[in-house]
């Protein structure tokens, strides 16, 4: 397929490169010259105009910072610029309302479109092992699936338009809560005199089992290798976790959903992000 890829940041650059590795021809666009240079080195054809990148393609993939930019890019550079038969895939993490609005506009113009946010950090984006949560019609999902499979290990149809974003923000709210709880428990065990490695060995095989402990241990030198062992560099930045928590709380207000732990997690990450927004989100253990 010929695919336009708009947004070549920390996640998008690796995703576009994996599309090339899968045999697709990729038209790449970003505002950053460095990002475009990296994309070119990875086999993409680069463009300095997003609309030009969308000309004559079979699919458009976007990976952008927020809902306002997603809406602007689709209204200004994708809808009406990409061929009407192209399938559109927004892999950004944005608010549910904007995702639904953009998809409705795209469908009104004759396109099939999905919202397909991802789970997995930079390493997963580079390695092609992302999980995609996809919202859209059955037809749109079936068309998008081939593109997404080239970038991930799992592609799951969550439901109608916006369902992908709903799954993403609920998942990451849960992740924030479990990371804070894991950090609290590990720190408390250590302060009570229990060897942190022994706590890991016990809890990781008992009812305390959870992904934050077993697969992303927040204490250096304990459990599996994680960003904690690299001074909390790489992985999933605290600033991005805070973005997702804010989206989750906005959605909770809209749905009149009670999320007391989610709200407290947002408050804790807001305080931590003031000076540590670039550190991996597991670095929240530093506050304990």
Task: Kindly list the catalytic residues.
Answer: 168
DSSP string, 17-67: HHHHHTT-EEEEE-S-HHHHHHHHHTTPEEES-HHHHHTT-SEEEE--SSH
Q: Which of 19, 9, 179 is nearest to 92 (CA)?
A: 9
- Cα–Cα dist 41/44, whole Å: 7
Asked whether the beta carbons of 157 and 137 are under 8 A apart, the reply is: no
- Cα–Cα dist 32/36, whole Å: 6
CB atoms within 10 A of CB 129: 14
């Amino acid at each position: 397929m010929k695919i336009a890829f708009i947004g070549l940041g920390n996640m998008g650059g690796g995703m576009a490169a994996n599309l090339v590795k899968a045999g697709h021809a990729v038209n790449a666009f970003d505002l950053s010259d460095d990002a475009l240079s990296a994309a070119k080195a990875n086999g993409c054809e680069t463009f300095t105009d997003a609309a030009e990148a969308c000309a004559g393609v079979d699919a458009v993939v976007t990976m952008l910072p927020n809902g306002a930019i997603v809406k602007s890019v689709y209204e200004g550079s994708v809808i009406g610029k990409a061929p009407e038969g192209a399938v559109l895939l927004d892999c950004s993490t944005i608010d549910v309302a904007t995702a639904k609005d953009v998809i409705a506009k795209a469908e009104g113009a004759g396109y099939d479109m999905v919202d397909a946010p991802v789970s997995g950090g930079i390493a997963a984006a580079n390695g092609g092992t992302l999980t995609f949560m996809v919202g859209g019609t059955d037809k749109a999902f079936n068309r998008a699936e081939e593109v997404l499979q080239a970038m991930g290990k799992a592609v799951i149809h969550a439901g109608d338009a916006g369902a992908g974003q709903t799954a993403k923000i609920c998942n990451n709210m849960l992740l924030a809560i479990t990371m804070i709880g894991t950090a609290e428990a590990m720190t408390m065990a250590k302060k009570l005199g229990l060897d942190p490695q022994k706590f890991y060995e016990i809890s990781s095989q008992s009812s305390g089992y959870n992904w934050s402990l077993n697969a992303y241990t927040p204490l250096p030198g304990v459990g599996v290798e994680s960003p904690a062992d690299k001074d909390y560099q790489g992985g999933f930045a605290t600033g991005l976790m805070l973005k997702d928590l804010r989206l989750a709380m906005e959605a909770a207000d809209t749905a009149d959903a009670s999320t007391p732990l989610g709200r407290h997690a947002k408050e804790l990450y807001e305080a931590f992000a003031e000076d540590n927004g670039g550190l991996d989100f597991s670095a929240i253990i530093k506050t304990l």
